[in-house]
Every structure is written in structure tokens, then in C-alpha cells.
Amino acid sequence: MTVKKFNLPDVGEGLTEAEIVSWKVKPGDTVAINDVICEIETAKSLVELPSPYAGTVAELLVAEGITVEVGTAIIGISDLAAGETEPTLTPAAPTAAPAVTQQVTQPAAEQLAETLMYGNLPDDAVPADAGPAASPLVGSGPKADAVKRRPRKRPEGAGEAAASVLPAQAPAAATAPAVVEPVVEPTASALPLRTIAEQQPPAANQGAENQAAGFTGLGATVSGLVYRVLAKPPVRKIARDLGIDLADVVPTGARGEVTREDLVSYQAQRDAEVDQADSFWGASKKPQDQRVERIPVKGVRKATAKAMVESAFTAPHVSIFVDVDASRTMEFVKRLKASRDFEGIKVSPLLILSKAVIWAAARNPSVNATWVENADGKGGAEIHVKHFMNLGIAAATPRGLMVPNIKDAQDLSLKELALALNELASTARAGKTQPSAMQGGSLTITNVGALGIDTGTPIINPGEVAIVAFGTIKQKPWVLDGEVIPRWITTLGGSFDHRVVDGDLSARFMADVASILEEPALLLD
């Protein structure tokens, strides 16, 4: 038996070191090729490392929390001895049989309950003689206290029809056939708007957005139901009781749904943060030098700090600002949310701004460029204008600021761009953004409005020459046709590399972006 050592690889361009965040295996575990063995944090993001070998984990050579250089051996994996087979599970076959039955029965029952609840039961799965009880309409089905009612006589063959839908129960339960009663949420017309607001608390500018979009009554309720995160009713109730926004929880369910365990983990993390806040200030009896917390700068934070310093002191920044009447953008967002084509897709004003930036960059190509110093050492340089748009979206994550970008965003339709933005946000929030997604950016948007900020003077992402800050959208008094009326106003801020982008070019670019927010119909030209 030989032990093969796996060296830390370069998972990105120019990676020199990485931190072992967590091990997913321990000595004695059996691994196959491509099984995840650990998570590492690079200067770009959190990355899962797959095993290049199949065998048994012999030893872990680097402890969690340690930063090592590329090429350092981190794990030893031994080959299985000749003739050795994979370890088998105990107990013996007679005991394991019920477990197999449970694995088949329980998911099938849950799936039937969900399909009845959400109305997506396949036609061929509904018995022909099941009658109204099998209707997949939301709000139909037995009430919560149905088990207390007098049992009704079922027509002949109904039991056989049910058996065709549900798998057979374990032999021990054969005398008491299980009846699946799906937990049904209230109908759309009966569900108050306040309940949806509790399920998904809006960001700082979302309340204004919903008010501007005219979300009231049944239409608001239906829209809220469509855009909710996948989770079962009991989980949603727990989230409401705890005041948790399901969109903030990383789902781990088999079908991408938020589970009860996900809520428990999220609440534990939130409680820990509150406890830290309550005990943040150190006891005044201690000397002040003993009340200083020292946090090592590493990983994403270290890379971000280095890049921002280089950008701020290398590229001469110039910033300009413009107030925009975004009322028609809010109306457009409302129509998109109500559109069947965008059903199930999260839509926000950021989508319209992204399209506006792409459109304006085509009219002002120099903002979509890179300043490149010549390697001859004589001080020469080139401006590389990019005829493609890798649109970067700045995302605040628990590990620091990341700027993943959407490749070739100029080729995406409005719907495709919305899907790409949703995927980018969820991946960044889960800490799964890959280094390749943050390379080769063209131009960046930072959505400070999501935090309730009007605007700012952002620092240009290295390798680019422009960045746009998108402020919050608020109702403000606005003069229109000589009258002061309330309108939905936002402020755009832009920073530019003055070596490439002159003042008039930056002004034209920002004016073009503003014109789209004021009249999204211009995107049709």
C-alpha cells in the first residue's frame, strides 16, 4: 500500500498561497476521485478542492486556519490493498430492509404533498377516479384538523388508486395505511400583504420600489407568492416567527429548498452576532492595550486591500454625480414582475441599470477599456478598448468584497441578464464564487442603494477605467412641467480613470445611463 500526497494546486491565475478553511474528510475516510476533501480560501474566493486520487485518507498534513503556499502537501491518500473492497454498512440485511423502505417512502410522500400544494402534479400521477380530492389547486385539500373528523366511506377502488400514487408502506405498517395530508397555505386572496412582507423584508429601497410599482391587494399577493424562496410551509412559519428573510438563508435541501436545519444554523449565527454586540465593549478595569482585537488580514480582505490601494494611487480618479427621475423605471419593473415571461425571476431596478450601462458603453466605448503599461520599462502605455462587456457587480460577502462579472453581457436578453444577476448574487452570498468569475472584468456597478445609501465615490476596480454607484430610490419632490410633484428619484455616482476618460466623455456616459433610467423604452432603439 502506497500513500500519495496531494499538493495545494494553483486554482487561479497567479495564486501563490491559500488558507485551509475546513476539512471535509478525516483520517480513515474512503474517498473517490473528485470527492470534495476541503475548502480553501484564496485571494479571490472560497474554493472546494476535489480529490485527485481514490483510496483511504491516511493523514491531514495541514491544520484548519493555516495558510500555505502553492505546492505544499496538504493530505496523504493511500491506495486500497489488492483485493480489498469498499467497506460495507452494518447492520445485517434483515435490519437494513426497513431503512430502504423508509428511504423510498418518505420522499415520495413529501413529494406528493408538495405537488398537491404547489399545483404541479403530473397528469399521469392523478388517479382517474380520485375526484375533487385530488385537485392540485392551491388552497384545496383537507384542513389542519381533518384527522379529528368522522372518517368518510371511500368508494370502491379508492384505496387501489391511492396505492398507485404512494409506494407501499413497510410490512409493519400494512394494517394501517398511511394517509398523506398536504399542508396547504391560504389562498392568494386570503393571504394578507403583511404576511408576505414578513416573509421577505424588503431592502432599504425595496419598500419604495413596491409602493411605486403599485403593489396592493391581490396582485401584490400573487407576485409575492411567485418570487418566494422554495421552502415548505412549516419552515416558512418558523422564518416568520423568527423574523428571518428566507432569501438570506443558504438552502441545503435536496431540491434547493430552505430546510429547518438551515434556519437553525442561520439563527445561531445571528444570535452569536447579537451576543458579540452585547459584550463588544471591554471591561474598563483592563488597560486599553488589552482591549484591542487583532484580526489577521488574509484571503479576500488582503487581496481587496492591495487592489484598492494600487487603484487609488495609480489611476487618477475623477467622480461625477447625477440625479435621475426613475419613476418610469419603477413602472417598467412592475410590468416585468407581472409578466408571464419573468415568472419566478427576481427583477429589480438593478436589471434596468445594467442594461443602461451596457447600452451607454456602446455609445462611449472608451469607458469600456483598460490602461496597460508597456513592459519595455520606457514608460509607454496602451489603451485597450474592449468590444465585449464583462459586467462586474460588486457584492459584499462575509469574506469581504467580491466583484464577479457576467461574461459577454452585451449578448444577453433582458430575461437572460436577470437570470445571470440572480445566479451571481446567490453564488456570491453562498461564498461559492470561483476565481474565473472575477477575472477579465470590463466595467463595474456597485449597488449601494441596497443599503439605503444615496450615492458614493467608488474606487475603480483594477484593470478597468470606470465604475458606477447606484443609489437608493426614494420619493422626493421633483419639478415636472412647472409643477412640484412626488417622483421616484435616485442618484448615480461614477468614478473614472482620467488617463483614459476625459470629463466630457464621463459626462456623456453618465447622461446616457440616466436617460435609460428616465425612459427605459430607449432600449428598444
Residues serving a catalytic function are 498
User: Which cell numbers hold the place of 204?
Assistant: 432599504
CA distance 433 to 512: 31
- Residue type present at position 177: P
> 70 — phi, psi (to 5°)?
-60, 135
Strand partners, 401: 396
Alpha-carbon span 341 to 302, nearest angstrom: 42
Dihedral through CA 78, CA 82, CA 83, CA 86, nearest 10?
A: 10
**C-alpha to C-alpha distance for 70 and 83, rounded to whole angstroms:** 35
d(C-alpha 410, C-alpha 373), whole Å? 27
Distance CA 407, CA 388 (A): 8
Q: For the chain, what percentages of helix, strand and coil (3-state, to nearest 5) are there?
A: 40, 20, 40
Cβ atoms of residues 180 and 169 within 8 Å: no
Rounded CA separation 117/120 (Å): 8
Q: Which amino acid is at 24?
A: K
Q: Can the peptide bond before residue 94 be classed as cis, meaning omega within 30 degrees of 0? A: no
Q: How far apart are alpha carbons 383 and 117 in whole angstroms?
A: 58
Residue 284 amino acid letter = S
Tell me how far apart the alpha carbons of residues 354 and 356 are, in angstroms, rounded to a whole number: 5
Three cell numbers written together for 95: 435490519
Spatial distance between the Cα atoms of 124 and 164, rounded to a whole number of angstroms:
11
Cell of 26: 478525516
CB atoms within 10 A of CB 34: 10
DSSP string, 250-291: PP-STTSPBPHHHHHHHHHHHHHHHHHHHT-SPPTTS-GGGS
User: How many Å apart are CA 462 and CA 308, to the nearest integer?
Assistant: 7
Calculate the CA 145 to chain-centre distance. Answer: 37
Q: Helices in 23-157 by DSSP H: which ranges?
A: 93-118
- Structure-derived torsion over alpha carbons of residues 102, 106, 107, 109, reported in degrees to the nearest 10: 140
Of 87, 68, 103, the residue nearest 30 (C-alpha): 87
